[in-house]
Amino acid sequence: MSWNEAAPLAVLATSLAAGVAIFFVAEEQQRLRTALNLAAALAKLLLVVVMLFGVWLGVEYELRYELAPGVDFLLRSDSLSMLFVTLSALLWLCTTVYAIGYLEGSPHRSRFFGFFSLCVASTVGIAFAGNLITFVLFYEMLTLSTYPLVVHRGTEKALRAGSIYLAYTLGGGALLLAGTAWLYGLLGTVDFAYGGVAARLGPEQHGALLAIFALLVAGLGVKAGVVPLHTWLPIAMVAPAPVSALLHAVAVVKAGAFGIVRVVYDVYGIEFAESLGLLAPLGALAAFTILYGSVRALQQTELKRRLAYSTVSQVSYIVLGACLFGPLGTIGGAVHLVHQGIMKITLFFCAGNIAETLGLHRIDQLDGVGRRMPWTLAAFSVAALGMIGLPPLAGFVTKWYLGTGAAAAGMHWAIAVLLASSLLNAAYFLPILYRAWFLPPSAPWQEHIPAGRFETDWRLLAPPLVTAAFAIGAGVLAAAPFSPLTWATLFAAREYLQ
């Protein structure tokens, strides 16, 4: 096996092997468990950096293995997969450090970190999947590996949330499998290809292609949190903060949105999808989800639930970008794959810090918290302002490209959606910042005095500071080589200039 074949498998194997090994680590062997976690995360990041340079130079990494006659297990890298896998590798390291501090002293840590690593392995497999069959395998593995994380606390509320999560995601997986099998039966292949493969079928099969598209998008839309398939997402907030961060920024919702992008560009092809009239209804659904999620976020009084509905809204920017027929919209949607991840994980880290350190969960309890936890609230503020779209943060870059893409495509309704969404973003984030920074401290938490010079455990504080810095850097250095925007531009160039 050559290095070009082994590289994607090696990236996948780091978290897969770590997850299996961690299951056998005794609870009291904290140092060993921590060493395995960090070593695997660092090894994955190093391998991804090597692959980034290779893909940048035009190297093709591909591993193909025949599972059955005509059915291949296929791992392959391209600019889109490298966007997703780099995000996963960076944020896995940050979330690992955070989770080690967050779960210190709690039971079942080996079980947690074992499934945590398997979840990341599933995400990497989804990123590198070169066909729908491989994608479905890892998509279902992601469902099974995240369920134990959602129910980790073992409470009645957690078990109920897990049951709902499992029902939704397994149902979505069944729809995705049905669409994949139907398409394979018509085409004899479901490999991802530039310009798509569905256009090979004649007009007599277009009705079937419409139905298959609906099945695929519905199956992927469950994890992407597209309305009305989103209701599991706020309920799953009962999970520990590291799990919430993982679900919203790295793994589950991002896997669904990534899959929809693959279907539009690499299964159907953007031009063929437009000719079939598929982009308009999908864009309308994304627009409705963006506005609905923002309105529902505005109604929430609990911080994590507000962030959950914000995710429902923000992830559909990726889907909207795929529906704006043109390179600028494609860039905006693809780059938001990364931008939403780094901003949203920062918000969930900070919410977890506030809950763990001060025991606060409701927004009306946050008066003056910025004076007690200034670094945490500074990171939260950066991410929140980025979500609103304030320049020069990462969120501004996303909204600029989506807006200019909509204008270039003549889809002025999408500009109105983006403006309304930004106003709603401001309406549900700015009151939190006002309370935290400008109102006098409320009584319940004033007795909590920092034990040392840090406002909380450094393992809880460092990750959001790092990811907030990423949110600043992704905006300020957007034009730099290897920036998320550069890779999103490479992806758009592949689709429109091939």
CB 286 within 8 A of CB 319: yes
Mean pLDDT score of the chain, rounded to an integer? Answer: 90
Determine the residue type at 27. E
- For residue 283, tell me if it sits in a domain: no
Report residue 445's pLDDT band, with 50, 70 and 90 as the boundaries. Answer: low
Report residue 372's pLDDT band, with 50, 70 and 90 as the boundaries. Answer: confident
- More confident position, 182 or 188: 182
Per-residue pLDDT, 250: 76
- For residue 292, tell me if it sits in a domain: no
Structure tokens at 432: 């939190």
Overall domain count for the chain = 2
Sign of torsion over alpha carbons 140, 175, 77, 255: negative
3-state secondary structure of 180: helix
CB 322 within 8 A of CB 333: yes
Q: Is 355 found in the same domain as 256?
A: no
Report residue 446's pLDDT band, with 50, 70 and 90 as the boundaries. Answer: low
Q: Is 239 found in the same domain as 172?
A: yes
pLDDT exceeds cutoff 60 at 434: yes
- For residue 299, tell me if it sits in a domain: no
Lowest-pLDDT range of 96-110, 342-356, 399-413: 96-110
Determine the residue type at 229. L
Q: Is 251 found in the same domain as 141?
A: yes
- For residue 261, tell me if it sits in a domain: yes
Q: What is the C-alpha separation between 318 and 260, in angstroms, rounded?
A: 9
- More confident position, 422 or 112: 422
pLDDT exceeds cutoff 60 at 308: yes
- For residue 294, tell me if it sits in a domain: no
Q: Which domain holds residue 262?
A: 1-277
- For residue 300, tell me if it sits in a domain: no
Report pTM: 0.94
Q: What is the C-alpha separation between 181 and 168, in angstroms, rounded?
A: 20
Per-residue pLDDT, 45: 93
Q: Is 185 found in the same domain as 252?
A: yes
Q: What is the pLDDT of residues 203-216, one digit of tens each?
A: 889 999 999 999 99
Residues 6+ apart with CB under 8 A from 223: 139, 142, 169, 172, 252, 253, 255, 256, 259
- For residue 143, tell me if it sits in a domain: yes
Determine the residue type at 18. A
Per-residue pLDDT, 453: 47
pLDDT exceeds cutoff 80 at 6: yes
pLDDT exceeds cutoff 70 at 497: no
Q: What is the pLDDT of residues 78-106, one digit of tens each?
A: 999 999 999 999 998 999 999 888 887 77
Q: What is the C-alpha separation between 340 and 9, in angstroms, rounded?
A: 27
pLDDT exceeds cutoff 70 at 480: yes
DSSP single-letter state for residue 129:
B
Report residue 495's pLDDT band, with 50, 70 and 90 as the boundaries. Answer: low
Q: Is 341 found in the same domain as 257?
A: no
Q: What is the pLDDT of residues 28-54, one digit of tens each?
A: 788 888 889 899 999 999 999 999 999
- For residue 490, tell me if it sits in a domain: yes
Q: Is 33 found in the same domain as 170?
A: yes
Q: What is the C-alpha separation between 248 and 310, in angstroms, rounded?
A: 10
Q: What is the C-alpha separation between 285 and 399, in angstroms, rounded?
A: 18
Residues 106-111, mean pLDDT to the nearest whole number: 82
pLDDT exceeds cutoff 70 at 326: yes
Residues 177-187, mean pLDDT to the nearest whole number: 95
Q: Is 264 found in the same domain as 371?
A: no
Per-residue pLDDT, 14: 93
Q: What is the C-alpha separation between 472 and 367, in angstroms, rounded?
A: 26
Per-residue pLDDT, 129: 95
Cβ atoms within 10 Å, residue 79:
20
Percentage of the chain lying above the pLDDT 70 cut: 97
Size (the chain), residues: 498
CB 323 within 8 A of CB 286: yes
Per-residue pLDDT, 357: 87
Best CA proximity match to 410, nearest among 273, 280, 224, 266: 280
